[in-house]
Structure 1
Amino acid sequence: MTTSEKQRLQQAELHKKLWTMANDLRGQMEAYDFKNYILGLIFYRYLSEKTETRIEKLLEEDNISYEDAWKDEEYKEGLIDTLLVEIGFVIEPEFLFSSMIKEIHIGEKGNFDIELLHKAIKAIEQSSLGTNSQQDFENLFDDMDLTSTKLGRDVKSRSKLIAKIMVSINEIPFLHDDVDIDVLGDAYEYLISQFAANAGKKAGEFYTPQQVSKILAKIVTHNKSNLKNVYDPTCGSGSLMLRVAKESNVRLFYGQELTTTTFNLARMNMLLHDLRYTDFDIKNDDTLENPRHIDMRFEAVVANPPYSANWSADSKYLDDDRFSAYGKLAPKSKADFAFIQHMIYQLDDNGTMAVVLPHGVLFRGGAEGIIRTYLIEEKNYLDAVIGLPANVFFGTSIPTCILVFKKTRGSEDSVIFIDASNEFEKGKNQNVLTDENVEKIVDIYKSRQTIEKFSYASRLDEIKKNDYNLNIPRYVDTFEEIEAIDLEVVSKRLKEIDDEIADIDVELTQYFRELGL
């Protein structure tokens, strides 16, 4: 079974469960609200199972249950200290997800009270206060308001609804060691896509399809089995960085995300993928206006920033080391090149950067043209331009491209252009890149082969002759010659049709006369 087939099976199972939960909540609140409850509870289940797995190992030789160990002050103190060091948080026995599921199933009415879950969530945050993991658990569940009347008018009705959702979540197969999908990211995208009209947010803003992520990841990890770090300045759910870790052994993860809800999701996602709180550092802030990792350099940089976003473009940034060498700032209404400049600045000398952007960055003039020229002519940083199919991102049908940059390209005097706009499989709502499509793109990137109607290794002097316009059709000719039309044959056939019509008219006139019409 191929990776894409496994992904589809796992997605189908997850989507089926999510649809059931969504139907339970749909009459209560807007989609944008209820996704926070579903994702928060998925994550809480994961934290609980992580705690149980660790506790089981810690107590395996003591022949004592977690519940009994917790009642013993000496055991309890030791367990708390160990859990805080190893996983960064503590969940008491009665607050475990599995304990609450038992409460839900006790008797016909069940003993579960939503207040118990509320206490449990607060207890996780409080357990990390004053520790190294505090910033990673602080306000993590803020988007899941269990006191909201949207869940029900009273505690009893809220408890009943949340209990129903928890039972459904308990049936989701996490498949920790054999999961080929980003559970939280995929759940987020699915929930948004099903109820986009009411959501107010587009999944494409913070979630990159797995196959596109795979292309970026394979490119930045080329010839690197180990990476000291990876960075995403607009990290969304964190799925891009996590994909890089599937291609190489990444030691540290760094990211920044402007939207608080999505920032919380990214932290959840890191932990959900079994990363220790010491392995990642994700900040909640505006990357262009207030970069939080500015003194660091990264071996791999990946991003799918918001397309043609607004930014201040304040003149003070002409003195900012990220932008000053170019002499121009990206336009206020199109921050695409501002993100590129920021990432170039953070890229280590031995690193590779891959970013998804709209096609406009390839050919727009003005300040963007000046920045583009500087990157190619003065620095020789641009390594590849890859055109992707249209309609592969939820929320936008526009075709996008991947730009690849390297600071040390040595004597490399070419840029590889790849037109992968037809490399897709038609999906129900979106086009999908298959495993074969991904491998074809990545293989050509690595080999830098020129293939008719697909790829072209352009020398820098040729790009210069094109005034540093990177529009892919200038380099990859995909023109299909139309078969010549024989006008004489067409004219003869039209004359024959006219004669046939005239004959039919005569025949119809005869019929009408016989009928007295």
Structure 2
Amino acid sequence: MALKKSDLYSSLWAGADELRGGMDASQYKDYVLTLLFVKYVSDKAKADPDSLVEVPKGGSFDDLVALKGKPDIGEKINVAIRLLADANDLQGVINNADFDDPTKLGEGKAMQDRLTKLIGIFQDLDFSGSRAEGDDLLGDAYEYLMRHFATESGKSKGQFYTPAEVSRVMSQLIGITSSTPKSATVYDPTCGSGSLLLKVADAAPNGLSIYGQEKDNATWALARMNMILHGNETADIRMGDTLVDPKFRSGDTLDTFDFLVANPPFSVKSWTSGLEKEYGRFDGYVRPPEKNGDFAFLLHMIKSLKSTGKGAVILPHGVLFRGNTEATIRRELIKRSYIKGIIGLPANLFYGTGIPACIIVLDKENAQARTGIFMIDASKGFEKDGPKNRLRPRDMHKIVDVFTKQLEVERYSRMVPVSEIADPKNDYNLNIPRYIDSSEPEDIQDLHAHLQGGIPNRDLDALQPYWDAFPSLRASLFRPLRDGYSELDVDKYEVQAAIVGSSEYQAFSASTADAVAGWWVAHREVLESIASTTRPSELIADLGETLLDSFRARPLVDEYGVYEQLMSYWNDVMHDDVALIMSEGWDAAAKPRKTIENKERKLSEVPDLVVGAGRSATKYKMDLVPPALIVARYFSDERAKLDELNDAAEAATQSVDEYVEENAGEDGLLADAMDDDKISKALAVARLRKAKIEDSAGDEVTALTTLVSLYDAEAAAKRAAKEASAALDDATLKQYGKLTTAEVQSLIINEKWGATVARGATSEPSARTHELVSRIRELGERYDETLGALEAEVEALSAKVAEHLATMGVKS
């Protein structure tokens, strides 16, 4: 069975996290990721005799499995991993975690049990085909664990990982094209665990030559492992402090690279500690302030770029506007035109800090011809993800689209001329709000409308995108009241019905559905041809881009919102489905399988179908084709009949409950049969026997006889429903064995994927319509009552109060 990403990720994290105990996540990750690495290279060596990583005798994951339950398991794990490290020159990379440390793993039996269970988490996984045609299951699992460990590691220890979403955006901003050769170089001087470098390499169709440096020994080891896990065994990752001892240099001259990406530690206060040489980094600039290393890193990066080099760097917003020495450096950078663009990001994206940051895009090529800096304020586009914020697919794609196409979008982006930046009123300050006002327009209260009634036309004019989509709708909803003001021509509670019922809205909704259907049909052949050679990343990229193209020219609908619907479904369901089909083929992937129960991996699957009852019941999981699809297509009549039987069973239960409630009071006919305000059939039957002896013709006998018959009817109804449900489940299970390949493809492409994507895409126009309805109702209610009408109402109420007081003899 192919391993589903969702199952792998959740089970790995759940199992590993449970075994962590009180150990800090920043330390525990070394144990988990080391075992993941050993498992991966062991599986690859089994599948590929020419694997670049040699797995020696005694140093494989199978050797670790043989240690499960042994008293000296910790010591022997260290020995096995050291053998693997020695065979591949990975000393200090994979053998940093001490598996025989009682202070972290417990003593004696506690350590033995914990390590035995930890090995068991990985034991049943199979990574032999992990990088099948561009789909990196293992590498993504590594990234998933890294993100969770970063989240758990706290502010001071979570800086080893740059969020994947930010990494993907940066990789697409630096100008890599389909013709970029593998010999082109990419450099990250503060590479952490290497995630940024890998995302850039993935963005290059031919790959890139990777170079990186990392100061922290444990994080450097993570980066080395990460490169191997992602198939970049030849990446040159070196250890050391980039500012004090840059490893990529010839003598005192820094090496230069084609591309650069970096997420350096923010505002380092001790960057000059141990610094003896500047390596020409500050030539032509002033030396950065001793208590803040942001510009020291930035100038190192600029010096490390070739004359045509391009880069993207994450820095805190302060570099855009701080004064004194930093203002002097910033002025010189702007004059040299090295800064191509600046993207303001949401706050709380990064592990280790909650402050907002920006991406500074560098480009030395034709710098002197550059007359402006392209700015984007992307600070409002994100979603909450636990304690952090996270860029959504729509946010990422919009940033990349707008930047690469240099699109000016109101309240979002613009090309800012250097002359404007250099103007004395700005004085080379790059703070984005100076140049882009991203705030929403103020919702102005109209005093004349409050006094005299009516809705200001300027508020209606602000809804022009809706009137463009529905040209006659405004005239049908509003009528002129006086110059500059209109009033609703329908009741404010009828606005939604008026909009949805209009012919223009119906046509718009239908054309949206047609656009989605046409786009999906155009890809049907590609979807049917999914096989082991499919590249999932290319498949979803093609689906996403063509969907965006289908909606770019359509009024009212945000194409990135539609794109988000597709990407959310891809990430949640469709990607797992595609991976399954790639691994097993359409027919095998559609077959039911028995559920997995693996306590060590914390993986206990909820069955999709249960056939039989009790201990003889068999539980099935349908990974690709849910039973509901089979039932809907082949057993709709049986489903309808079952629904009727279930309704009848519910009605029978309700009849019992109602009858008991009517007769179970303190003086009720069923009072003597009650037990703690409850009465079962057994209690009713037992009391009926006694009641017949006491008074065979009494009302209690009649009531109990009726109740027993209602219980009998309920039992019969439930039995009929249960038998019909079991028959339907059995028929459904058998139907899987009859499915042809064409039927499987139709069920998945049309009724599972297609229907879901279509619902998501067409929900966007509905959401925008809801916004229009809400706004019109808000305006209608705001100016519904004029000041004069309110004063008249107050006056009438005051007169009524005075009248009541007079009646009571109270003089006002």
The two structures have a TM-score, normalised by structure 2, of 0.51
> In structure 1, how many angstroms separate the alpha carbons of the residues matched to 2:289 and 2:801?
66
Conserved 8 A contact 2:94-2:225: no
> In structure 2, how many angstroms separate the alpha carbons of the residues matched to 1:48 and 1:507?
94
Is 1:387–2:344 an aligned residue pair? yes
Aligned to 2:30: 36
Aligned to 2:684: none
Is 1:100–2:53 an aligned residue pair? no
> Out of 223, 233, 254, which is 2:211 matched to?
254
SS at match of 1:325: coil
Change (3 A) 1:124 1:95: closer
Change (3 A) 1:291 1:471: same
What does the per-residue CA deviation read over 1:410-447, in whole Å, with 9 as the maximum and x for residues that have no partner? Answer: 52322111111122234343332222322221122112
Aligned to 2:432: 472
The CA deviation at 1:110 is: 7.2
1:53 partner letter: A
Change (3 A) 1:381 1:200: closer
Aligned to 1:79: none
> Out of 238, 242, 253, which is 1:283 matched to?
238
Conserved 8 A contact 1:317-1:324: no
The CA deviation at 1:45 is: 1.2
> In structure 1, how many angstroms separate the alpha carbons of the residues matched to 2:38 and 2:800?
77
Aligned to 2:325: 367
The CA deviation at 1:457 is: 0.9
> In structure 2, how many angstroms separate the alpha carbons of the residues matched to 1:494 and 1:148?
78
Aligned to 1:49: 43
Aligned to 1:307: 266
Is 1:298–2:298 an aligned residue pair? no
> Out of 400, 414, 417, which is 2:372 matched to?
414
Aligned length: 454
Aligned to 1:273: 230
The CA deviation at 1:474 is: 1.8
1:477 partner letter: D
Conserved 8 A contact 2:339-2:360: yes
Aligned to 1:243: 199
> In structure 1, how many angstroms separate the alpha carbons of the residues matched to 2:378 and 2:19?
41
SS at match of 1:450: coil
> In structure 2, how many angstroms separate the alpha carbons of the residues matched to 1:501 and 1:344?
75
The CA deviation at 1:127 is: 2.3
Alignment of 1:439-450 (within 5 A): 439-450=397-408
Q: Tell me which moved more, 111-120 or 453-462.
A: 111-120
> In structure 1, how many angstroms separate the alpha carbons of the residues matched to 2:427 and 2:325?
14
Is 1:176–2:131 an aligned residue pair? yes
Change (3 A) 1:10 1:373: farther
> In structure 2, how many angstroms separate the alpha carbons of the residues matched to 1:42 and 1:496?
77
The CA deviation at 1:391 is: 2.4
Is 1:212–2:166 an aligned residue pair? yes
What does the per-residue CA deviation read over 1:151-184, in whole Å, with 9 as the maximum and x for residues that have no partner? Answer: 2322x54233112111112355754332376433
SS at match of 1:309: coil
Q: Structure 1: where are the runs of 5+ without partners?
A: 1-8, 59-82, 129-133
SS at match of 1:250: coil
Is 1:321–2:280 an aligned residue pair? yes
> In structure 2, how many angstroms separate the alpha carbons of the residues matched to 1:32 and 1:508?
75
> In structure 2, how many angstroms separate the alpha carbons of the residues matched to 1:13 and 1:271?
20
SS at match of 2:207: strand
Change (3 A) 1:428 1:147: closer
Conserved 8 A contact 1:182-1:239: no
The CA deviation at 1:487 is: 4.7
Conserved 8 A contact 2:82-2:95: no
Conserved 8 A contact 2:346-2:379: yes
The two structures have a TM-score, normalised by structure 1, of 0.79
Conserved 8 A contact 1:95-1:116: no
2:287 partner letter: L
Q: Tell me which moved more, 220-229 or 395-404.
A: 220-229
Is 1:435–2:390 an aligned residue pair? no
> In structure 2, how many angstroms separate the alpha carbons of the residues matched to 1:280 and 1:24?
33
> In structure 2, how many angstroms separate the alpha carbons of the residues matched to 1:30 and 1:504?
72
The CA deviation at 1:495 is: 6.4
Change (3 A) 1:291 1:397: same
> In structure 2, how many angstroms separate the alpha carbons of the residues matched to 1:368 and 1:303?
19
Conserved 8 A contact 2:147-2:163: no
What does the per-residue CA deviation read over 1:341-373, in whole Å, with 9 as the maximum and x for residues that have no partner? Answer: 000011112221100111111111111111111
> In structure 1, how many angstroms separate the alpha carbons of the residues matched to 2:313 and 2:376?
15
Aligned to 1:62: none
Conserved 8 A contact 1:263-1:283: yes
Conserved 8 A contact 1:392-1:431: yes
Change (3 A) 1:367 1:15: farther
What's the RMSD between the two structures over aligned residues?
Answer: 3.2
Conserved 8 A contact 1:18-1:191: no
Change (3 A) 1:30 1:347: same
What does the per-residue CA deviation read over 1:23-74, in whole Å, with 9 as the maximum and x for residues that have no partner? Answer: 12315x333332221111111212222322333xx6xxxxxxxxxxxxxxxx
1:216 partner letter: M
Alignment of 1:186-225 (within 5 A): 186-193=144-151, 195-196=152-153, 201-203=156-158, 205-223=159-177, 225=180
> In structure 2, how many angstroms separate the alpha carbons of the residues matched to 1:43 and 1:502?
81
Conserved 8 A contact 1:14-1:172: no
> In structure 2, how many angstroms separate the alpha carbons of the residues matched to 1:504 and 1:268?
83
The CA deviation at 1:200 is: 6.7
The CA deviation at 1:19 is: 2.3
Conserved 8 A contact 2:73-2:115: no
> Out of 19, 26, 42, which is 1:24 matched to?
19
2:113 partner letter: K
SS at match of 2:342: strand
SS at match of 1:253: strand
Conserved 8 A contact 1:114-1:158: yes
Aligned to 1:233: 189
> Out of 87, 91, 95, which is 1:127 matched to?
87
Conserved 8 A contact 1:240-1:303: yes
Change (3 A) 1:392 1:122: same
SS at match of 1:207: coil
Is 1:146–2:140 an aligned residue pair? no
1:475 partner letter: Y
2:322 partner letter: R
Q: Tell me which moved more, 469-478 or 211-220.
A: 469-478
Aligned to 2:353: 396
> In structure 1, how many angstroms separate the alpha carbons of the residues matched to 2:74 and 2:275?
51
Change (3 A) 1:170 1:450: same
Give the structure, 1 or 2, with the largest relative contact order (CA under 8 Å, sep 6 or more): 1
Change (3 A) 1:432 1:319: closer
> In structure 2, how many angstroms separate the alpha carbons of the residues matched to 1:221 and 1:240?
15
Aligned to 1:91: 56
SS at match of 1:219: coil
Conserved 8 A contact 2:374-2:413: yes
The CA deviation at 1:454 is: 1.4
Is 1:332–2:290 an aligned residue pair? yes
2:94 partner letter: F
Conserved 8 A contact 2:42-2:55: no
Q: Structure 2: where are the runs of 5+ without partners?
A: 452-785
2:98 partner letter: D
